[in-house]
Structure 1
């Protein structure tokens, strides 16, 4: 029933054999309700063109995208790729704004949140800012990132016992989205989102991305300035374009 409700609200497509979903902002509250009605973990993934290339090279990440409840485009290049392959244009989502809308929908229903990631200081800052912004949310637990493998089992047990409706993951979770995928059968029924960018904004370690820059598709520039070695991804970007052309020509 919940799955049918979700499929009515979200359009699904395949781009380079990676699932991609089209979700309108106005449908987010209903989609949150549908995801909460699902059994198990409903993972939300935020995809850039680089994630498509990583998924093609990494079987586990590819499985992760295929099992995710929602795979939403962040990069303008992903949307352009979908249009090039003759799909309907999916809305792009700024990670911070999407998270705000998700948390707002959860707050409206007095739902609970668990926070995982970051340093002790950044984790406290994230929780404090979330409590001030969303007083109607219930915070049922938190744990820092960069944890030792030895305590991972205890963290998972703590999350399962806390029974959160939403898990927000940030920096310090080395596997990121794959961590959620690996432990999806152990975390209980909830929505899970990994976004180091959003986490760092709540932790006051990063400035919010300009909406104007996001609309123009140049929101990647600040990240490139901080990590100039990402220019080495140019060959992968060219291969992304080649794959789009191949998939269109041969209708794969």
Structure 2
């Protein structure tokens, strides 16, 4: 027999065996799936777990908001109160705003109860007051508006007076001192957070100025009258 022909015969036999095995496997698979005649496909599902921060129930959030509002509205403010900030404006909250609103209500300029929040009606009442009293109209409550309403703190309490210097006294740079000026060693301490380096420091409530050298030592300090409308601008 031709060797090449014998090899081809063996290859045909092997191919037939492979086909027969494949057909048998498909038949077994079909019967295991209820005779549907389709191959089974397995889908692998990957589950992703997202861990989120604990959420606060809506009812608890509402209760918390209500508590904050109640705290603002229930602060005890005496009738003879004064404001703490030097300027109150829209959006401010707290005892000083309550004080302002109570003063406006006493003068029949604001209708309703004091809420402790500087809102639109409060600003409208302030603008009307400033217009009527010929003040600077900006809807904010500073020194002049607060004085008219009787809620501005006593300024003399913040003014530190020093003894007049000796006749002919001079500061550390050799300049004569006025009767309301003090040399560095006798000057009141600088206000906190008043900057660094060579500078002039002005304290509005204390009506005082400090001349400070580049190394932080006080050259001199003196009293001033300040601004009527609290409109000084910081600068150098």
Q: TM-score, normalised by structure 1?
A: 0.22
Relative contact order: is structure 1 or structure 2 higher (C-alpha 8 Å, sep ≥ 6)? Answer: 1
Q: Which structure has more helix as a fraction of its residues?
A: 1
Q: Which has the larger radius of gyration?
A: 2
Q: Which structure has more strand as a fraction of its residues?
A: 1
